Structure 1
Amino acid sequence: MTEQEFVTKTKSLIDGLKSVCANYGLGNDASEFNIITQVFLYKYLNDKFIYEAKKADPKLAKAENFQKAYETLSESEQKFLLGRIGTKAAKMKPEQMISYIYNKNGAENFAAIHFDGTLRSLNADNEHLYAVKSEGGGKEKMFDDLSQYIRDVSQRDTFCKALLNKIVDVSFEKMFSEKYDFFSTIFEYLIKDYNSDSGGKYAEYYTPHAVARIMAAILVTEKDNGVKVYDPSAGSGTLLMNIAHAIGEKNCSIYSEDVSQKSANMLRLNLIINNLSHSIPNIIKGNTILSSSYLTEKFDYIVSNPPFKLDFSDYQTKLLSDTYKTRFFAGVPKIPAKDKDKMAIYLLFIQHIMYSLSDKGKAAIVVPTGFITAQSGIEKKIREALIERGWLRGVVSMPSNIFASTGTNVSILFFDKSADNEHIVLVDASKLGEIVKEGKNQRTVLTKKEEQKIISAMNDKMAIEDFSIVVKTEEIKAKNYSFSAGQYFEVKIEYIDISPKEFAEKMNGFENRLTSLFRQGNELDVEIQNQLKKLKYE
């Protein structure tokens, strides 16, 4: 089975779950997202457990019916099996498996006892593995009582049975053995209906995969072990997953913060799918800017695509106190007289990232392109600090519409505390890509060759005509700390040799053209005057 077949199968599963929600009056309801993601998670945990159990016990691997074979194991054999599986999969008892509760679908109070009851027990048995912490110290459970979203009690049993019918005959087992890396497509598909770059009090969004791949390939240029990777505005974790794959899942620990519970739940699922379950305890649902849970931590790699504009007027005054001055050294954006939702919160994220870097730290952050040339204000102070500290490695200005849901032009800043200050690479990739239509929006898509061109220019410190330039810190200071590649490109004037005869012919052509235009102008003047004389007042 190919990767595309797995993608197609999983999209079909998601569509099936959406259909069930719609049939029971929950289409586009606030609960729909929770139901789909939690049922998807349950299915994934079930199949991953079967896969790991078969690897750990040859008898289970050979059994024609896994469920029956698992149920016949003695209590001590089951404990031994769970011990061998360890943290590779969720701890699941025979009565928690999908096939077991599916066979109970005729039981009385099926939804409350067998469906929700199973999910509740999985919460309790696996809290130590999969719980997401909030900034207050509480834990966000994996599963809700999903039947409770159906207000008509008489429909709850049939609703839960319908959900089970969609997942019981689908198997992801082969995916684990063949290690298909299909997560990015699935997650974009799963959240595209629920997220937008400009939605709500706290915008939730996903980062284009090309941007994530480029950031990871430029940041991770050599083998590294035991490193800490952090995203202070993690969303569903696309950036974190890409950099973890580049470093190696076993070689890094993931840390994240995001104010959105939805994003925290999506990230948890993403970590489970990508063999990063050991980092789930490091997921924090909280306000990074106001009360980061990792102020005493320093990170080796930081990636971020923060919200650019957001209303944080509720706590802007608090950020001006002495407590925050070290972290927000360049200042806190003011509250505008109008449109509070246009407060430039991304400037706080940049400063937070600079504060959070370890001694050997590297970072990549997506910013609006206007940041790299702003002539004053907090933007200029941050750029000056990056140059004075010697941390700027380079900047890539991306094509417009690289994000499907926003027309904002973006650039990627690359920091490195070990940067070579004599070879800062500025890339203008704005002319790359092909425009494709996605629904009502247009989006620019980069080819793999174009992605590699950007990566090579940065990593090999290459100067390419009208594309990339390698500059020194002194040159950047001379340009008023501009990080725009275009301002450093050499202006070329092309001279063409022509004969005196050719010159005379060109000049004669210009003269004749002007004479013709003057004549037409005079004719129009006469016509206008004639028309005006015909006007009468009545």
Structure 2
Amino acid sequence: MTDITFITKTKQLIDSLKSVCANYGLGNDGNEFKIITQVFLYKFMNDKFAYEAKKLEDYKLGDAPNFQEALEALDEEQYNFLLAFIDANTPQLYPHQTITYLHNKQNSNDFAKLFDDTLREISINNAEIYSVKSASGAKDKMFDELSNFISDASQRDAFCKALISKLFEFSFEGMFNEKYDFFATIFEYLIKDYNTDSGGKYAEYYTPHAVARIMASIMVNDKPKGVKVYDPSAGSGTLLMNIAHAIGEDNCSIYSEDISQKSSNMLRLNLVLNNLSHSIPHIIKGNTILEPYYREEKFDYIVSNPPFKLDFSDFSVALDKDINKTRFFAGIPNIPKAKKESMAIYLLFIQHIMYSLSARGKGAIVVPTGFITAQSGIERKIREAMIERKLLRGVVSMPSNIFASTGTNVSVLFLDNRADAEHIVLVDASKLGATVKEGKNQRTILSPLEEQRIVDAMNKKVAEVDFSVLVSAEDIKAKNYSFSAGQYFEVRIDYVDITAQEFTFKMQGFEEQLNALFEEGNCLDIEIQKQLKTFTYNDK
């Protein structure tokens, strides 16, 4: 099965699940998102278990003409050994929990109950690997009782049978022996209907893949091992997936926090799809700014696309304990009396990230481009601290509309506790990219060559006219701590050699043009005076 075939079939599966939801009155319903993502997770777990079980040579399950029958034929002792030998990150299923088993039982009475009970059992049996934890320590359940989303109880059996029929149509197994980077494309397709203005706030968490790739390529230019990677506002995990691929899934552990239950569930699915199930216990659903679960942890790599605008007025007073002591050294943004959605909560995330870096830590943070030049307030204090601590490695100012969901211009800060303060790289990529239309929005798309140009400028410390510049910490201090590349570009004057005759001819031409403009101006003055004399007073 080729990449294109696999992508196409996966998209067809997602579309067919959406069709089932629509046929039972759940199209664009708030619960449709839960149904599709949870059923998709069940399908992936089922096929992953089958793939790993068939690899165990002692059981010959891969050679069996009917895998389900061979699985059911194992006695209890044999099955326990099978579960013990299977890879630790593989979901553990029993014969009566497979999709094939449920497909064969579709004529059973009360099928919806059988379906829900099966998913509940799988959730309990795999809680240690797949459950997301809240800040309080409580673990969530992987699957809801999906049949209960159908209000008409008489339709629940048919609804669950329709879901199982769609899941039974093809298998993921053929792709598990290869590593493919197109999971990101599948994931983007999966959530595209939930990443629009009408879909709530989920668009806040979505980072373009180009930005994520650039951040990962700049941060990871070696092959570290045993490192901790953290995102304090993880969303669906696009940034985490890209940096994990760059480091190597086996060489890193993923840690994340996010206040959204929806994004935590999507991140769990993304970790499963990307062979990072071992990091699921580190996913925390909680308020990073108010009660950071990983307050005392230090991380080797931190990536973040924090929310730029989010109301934190309900807990801003409680943050005072962190001022000038630990995290929020530069202060807490003021709470505006109006337009609370304009709160600069991202400034709190930047300070939290600086606080959370290990001694060898590296960070990459998406910020509004206005942050890099603001000359007062918390923004200025943070930039000063980055320079004084020799923490700034470089900045990339991205093209406008790189995010389809917002018109805010963004830049990416690159931090490194081992940064070279004499060779800080500032890149102005604002003129790159091609503009395309996505729905009602315009979006700028970077080509692979343009992405590589940005990465090379940062990693190779390349100075390029009107694109990138190398500056020192002292240079930045002299420019009032501006991180904008444009303020450091040299003003160039192009000189052209001409003869005395050519010079005289040019000057005569300029003089003639100027005289013509003066003459035209005089005519306009006379005409205006004539028009003024025609005005008369009328009291009616």
TM range (shorter): over 0.9
* Alignment partner, residue 173 of structure 2: 173
Counterpart secondary structure, 1:49: helix
In structure 1, the partner of 2:51 is 51
Which residue identity does 1:63 align to in structure 2? A
Alignment partners' CA distance in 2, 1:104 and 1:78: 22
State the shift of 1:44 in Å.
Answer: 0.5
- Greater shift in the superposed pair: 354-363 or 525-534: 525-534
2:257 partner letter? E
- 1:376 equivalent in structure 2: 376
Gaps of 5+ in 1: none
User: Which whole-Å CA distance do the structure 1 matches of 2:323 and 2:344 have between them?
Assistant: 20
- 1:179–1:322 CA distance, 2 compared to 1 (3 A): closer
* Aligned CA-pair RMSD: 2.1
For 2:72, the equivalent position in structure 1 comes to 71
Structure 2: how far apart are the matches of 1:199 and 1:314?
24
The change in CA–CA distance for 1:264 and 1:527 in structure 2 (over 3 A counts) is same
Q: Does 1:345 align with 2:345?
A: yes
Q: CA deviation at 1:214?
A: 1.1
Structure 2: distance between partners of 1:496 and 1:24 = 75
Aligned partner of 1:92 in structure 2 is 93
Task: Say whether the 8 Å CA contact 1:347–1:379 is kept in structure 2.
Answer: yes
8 Å contact 2:332–2:348 — kept in the other structure? yes
Shift of 1:423: 1.1
Return the offset for 1:272. 1.1
Q: How many angstroms does 1:475 deviate by?
A: 0.7
- AA aligned to 1:312 is F
Give the 3 Å change call, closer, same or farther, for CA 199–297 of structure 1 in structure 2: farther
Residues 252-309 of structure 1 deviation map (CA, whole Å, 9 limit, x = unaligned): 1110000000110011111111111111110000000000000111111111111111
Looking at structure 1, the residues matched to 403 and 322 of structure 2 have their Cα atoms a distance apart, in angstroms, of 37
Aligned pair in 2 of structure 1 residues 492, 199: CA closer, same or farther (>3 Å)?
farther
| Alpha-carbon distance change, 359 to 389 in structure 1, aligned in 2, over 3 angstroms | same
1:476 Cα deviation from its structure 2 partner: 0.7
The aligned counterpart of 2:215 is 215
In the TM superposition, 1:426-505 aligns within 5 A as 426-505=426-505
Q: Which moved more, 1:323-332 or 1:393-402?
A: 323-332
TM-score by length of 2: 0.95
Distance 1:78 1:324, change over 3 A: farther
1:212-257: per-residue Cα shift (whole Å, max 9, x none)? Answer: 1111111112221111110000011111111111111111111000
- Residues 1:349 and 1:203: Cα distance change in structure 2 (over 3 Å): farther
1-side partners of 2:324 and 2:94: how far apart?
49
- 1:306 — aligned with what? 306
Mapping for residues 224-239 of structure 1, pairs under 5 Å: 224-239=224-239
Match of 2:268 in 1: 268
Shift of 1:500: 3.8
Measured in 1, the distance between the counterparts of 2:141 and 2:516 equals 80
Q: Secondary structure of the equivalent of 1:502?
A: helix
Residue by residue, what CA displacement relative to the aligned partner does 1:120-161 show, whole Å, maximum 9, x if unpaired? 111111111111001121111110000111101111111111
1:184 counterpart = 2:184: yes
Q: Structure 1 residue 20: deviation in Å?
A: 1.2
- Do the aligned partners of residues 298 and 196 (structure 1) sit closer, same or farther apart at CA in structure 2, a change above 3 Å counting? farther
TM-score, normalised to structure 1, is 0.95
C-alpha change, 1:322 and 1:40, in structure 2 (3 Å) is closer
Deviation per CA, 1:376-434: give whole Å up to 9, x if none: 11011011101111111111111111111111111111111111111111111111111
Please say if residues 327 and 355 of structure 1, whose CA atoms lie closer than 8 Å, have aligned partners that are also in contact.
yes
d(CA) in 2 for partners of 1:197, 1:532: 58
Moved more, 517-526 or 161-170: 517-526
d(CA) in 2 for partners of 1:446, 1:262: 29
C-alpha change, 1:525 and 1:422, in structure 2 (3 Å) is closer
- After superposition, the C-alpha distances for 1:315-354 in whole angstroms (9 at most, x for unaligned) are 1111123578411000000011210111001100000001
Partner of 2:16: 16
> In structure 1, what is the equivalent of residue 102 of structure 2?
101
User: In structure 1, what residue type is equivalent to 2:99?
Assistant: I
* Further displaced range: 361-370 or 187-196: 187-196
Structure 1 residue 148 and structure 2 residue 148: aligned? yes
Task: Pick closer, same or farther for the CA change 1:300–1:11 going to 2, 3 Å.
Answer: same
Separation in 1 of the partners of 2:168 and 2:358? Answer: 47
1:107-131 Cα distance to aligned partner (Å, 9 max, x none): 111112x211111111111111111
Amino acid at match of 1:168: F
- Work out whether residues 323 and 331 of structure 2, in 8 Å CA contact, stay in contact via their aligned partners in 1: no
Aligned partners of 2:300 and 2:511: how far apart in 1?
Answer: 67
Match of 1:451, as an amino acid?
E
Residue 204 and residue 76 in structure 1: after superposition, are their counterparts in 2 closer, same or farther (change >3 A)? farther
In the aligned structure 2, how far is the partner of 1:220 from the partner of 1:99? Answer: 42
**Does structure 1 conserve the Cα–Cα contact (< 8 Å) formed by 2:97 and 2:118?**
yes
Q: How far apart, CA to CA, are the structure 1 residues paired with 2:413 and 2:377?
A: 18
CA deviation map 1:475-514 (0-9, x unaligned): 1110111111111111111222333443344344444444
For the residue of structure 2 that corresponds to 1:192, the secondary structure is: helix
User: For residue 326 of structure 2, what is the aligned residue in structure 1?
Assistant: 326
Deviations 1:74-97 (A, max 9, x none): 111111111111423111011100
C-alpha distance 378-196 of structure 1, shift in aligned 2 (>3 A): farther
Q: Percent identity?
A: 69
Match of 2:138 in 1: 138
Cα distance change, pair 414–408 in 1 and its aligned pair in 2 (3 A): same
| Alignment partners' CA distance in 2, 1:527 and 1:393 | 62
Question: Aligned partners of 1:518 and 1:18: how far apart in 2?
Answer: 71
The whole-number CA distance in structure 1 between the counterparts of 2:15 and 2:101 is 24
Relative distance call for 1:422 and 1:530 in structure 2 (3 A) is closer
Report how many aligned residue pairs link the two structures: 537
CA gap 1:199/1:296 in 2 versus in 1, 3 angstroms: farther
Shift of 1:11: 1.2
**1:361 counterpart SS class:** strand
Question: Does the 8 Å contact 2:229/2:301 carry over to 1?
Answer: yes
Task: Measure how far apart 1:524 and its partner are.
Answer: 5.9
Residues 204 and 111 of structure 1: is their aligned pair in 2 closer, same or farther, counting only changes over 3 Å?
farther
